[in-house]
């Protein structure tokens, strides 16, 4: 009788055991499904780097187009995203009262939740065309020279660029800084003007020492210059200031003067060549093929006012051991938020990264409501990422969101990983040092796109409006 009762009890319990096993199985699947956080900027500005509801990875399948992430496929290591801290940018920031300035710099350069975590800055060596006046660090009266650079000094930069950089370094001591000159001192040039002309060969050695003194002077103020380019836009002598420097001249200057001067002074600052448009990859290739210059050169820098972003890969394919850098692209006062967002994210952020660049930089960080300051003959339409007006109101322009979609989520040390481009959905993916996967997607089409994000045999489905940009973030499992 007892045995019969036990059998009945077991039979009665079996359905409950089966239900519990099923529930346990279901819970296990849920716990393995990761959440995907996302932030979106839309072309109509109704959403600007705005956090969305989380997506969830699952095992469901469908026939949607799919962006598949391949973390085993690894490319370049990222050094950073950011802007040029022009003299004008620094001036605009310096006009803010102490509390506003501190809050803004925290928003720009920290990795707090409401910040965009800029990790790379480009500055001008001497004036750029976004300074209020033209200057070098060794200006002399007409007809005089200073071969020993006894009059070298950082001049106006001590009033704005240097103090702003010092404030930034307190927030992010690891930020990388690149220096680029628009022109040497006028007395070194063959036309005696800040605009155009060429560097006279007899001053190559003196100019190399000018770079040495600059790096040492900045270091004395606690500012490490990670990299320099010998000349901003060397094939554009029509700006003010500017200089024409042909590829053969730059190769000679680096190989016989600048490189040896850095070596002798124990300077580790990287030398990066070209720093101009993607339509002339033969310029950096000429220097990299030069046996004297090549050992001193770390890589090549590009802008995209002409040419195609694939020029970076052209250079990479011939010199895979040399790095690529995307150093400048402006947004203009005559363009729309929609067009600038779409083109720049597609080309400057996604395009440069998919073509081996270690950085993506936009042009000026800040200006006033009149796009000032700029030099006589400088850019009158260059729109900063921030507009800071006379009443200390701060407007975040399109450049802020173009770069913010990357800088906020992809810190230095992240590695680009594999992802396929699906139809109109341009994208790039990274693995961060913290073990997160970051995917930036731009819908280049004319209508809303529905698509899957597939990772580690699981996927999630989402939509992205025409012209919109999204950044998706999840933990690697």
Catalytic residues, which ones? 233, 328
Q: How many C-beta atoms lie closer than 10 Å to residue 71's C-beta? A: 16
Give the whole-angstrom CA distance, residue 327 versus residue 358: 10
Q: How far is CA 475 from CA 37, 113, 440, in A?
A: 10, 17, 15
Two tokens, residue 472: 């998706």
In sequence order, the 6+-apart residues with CB closer than 8 A to the CB of 3 are: none
Helices 87-94 & 98-109, crossing angle to 10 degrees?
130
Two tokens, residue 104: 């803004």
């Amino acid at each position: 009788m007892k045995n019969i009762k036990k059998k009945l009890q077991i039979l009665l319990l079996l359905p409950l055991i089966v239900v519990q096993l099923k529930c346990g199985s279901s819970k296990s699947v849920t716990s393995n499904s990761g959440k995907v956080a996302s932030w979106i900027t839309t072309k109509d500005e109704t959403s600007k780097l705005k956090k969305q509801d989380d997506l969830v990875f699952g095992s469901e399948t469908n026939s949607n187009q799919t962006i598949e992430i391949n973390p085993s496929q690894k490319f370049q290591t990222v050094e950073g995203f950011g802007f040029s801290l022009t003299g004008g940018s620094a001036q605009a920031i310096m006009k803010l009262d102490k509390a506003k300035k501190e809050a803004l710099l925290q928003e720009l350069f920290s990795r707090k939740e409401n910040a965009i975590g800029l990790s790379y800055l480009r500055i001008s060596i001497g004036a750029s065309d976004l300074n209020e006046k033209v200057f070098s660090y060794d200006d002399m009266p007409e007809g005089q020279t200073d071969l020993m650079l006894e009059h070298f000094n950082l001049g106006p930069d001590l009033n704005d660029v240097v103090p702003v950089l010092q404030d930034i370094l307190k927030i992010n001591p690891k930020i990388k800084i690149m220096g680029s000159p628009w022109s040497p001192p006028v007395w070194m040039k063959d036309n005696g003007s800040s605009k155009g002309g060429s560097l006279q060969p007899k001053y190559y050695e003196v100019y190399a020492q000018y770079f040495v003194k600059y790096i040492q002077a900045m270091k004395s103020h606690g500012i490490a210059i990670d990299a320099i380019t010998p000349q901003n836009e060397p094939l554009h002598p029509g700006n003010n200031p500017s200089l024409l420097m042909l590829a053969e001249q730059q190769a000679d200057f680096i190989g016989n003067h600048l490189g040896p001067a850095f070596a002798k002074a124990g300077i580790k600052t990287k030398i990066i060549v070209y720093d101009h448009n993607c339509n002339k990859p033969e310029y950096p290739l000429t220097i990299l093929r030069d046996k004297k210059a090549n050992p001193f050169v770390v890589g090549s820098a590009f802008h995209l006012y002409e040419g195609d972003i694939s020029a970076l890969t052209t250079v990479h394919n011939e010199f895979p051991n040399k790095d690529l850098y995307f150093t400048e692209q402006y947004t203009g006062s005559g363009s729309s938020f929609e067009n600038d967002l779409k083109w720049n994210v597609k080309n400057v952020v996604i395009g440069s990264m998919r073509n081996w660049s270690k950085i993506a930089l936009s042009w000026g960080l800040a200006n006033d409501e009149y796009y000032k300051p700029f030099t006589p003959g400088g850019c009158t339409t260059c729109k900063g990422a921030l507009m800071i007006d006379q009443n200390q109101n701060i407007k975040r322009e399109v450049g802020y969101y173009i770069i913010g979609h990357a800088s906020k989520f992809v810190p230095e040390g992240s590695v680009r990983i594999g992802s396929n481009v699906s139809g109109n959905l341009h994208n790039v993916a990274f693995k961060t040092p913290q073990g997160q996967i970051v995917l930036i997607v731009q819908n280049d089409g004319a209508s809303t796109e529905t698509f899957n994000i597939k990772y580690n045999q699981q996927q999630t489905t989402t939509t992205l409006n025409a012209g919109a940009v999204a950044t998706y973030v999840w933990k690697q499992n």
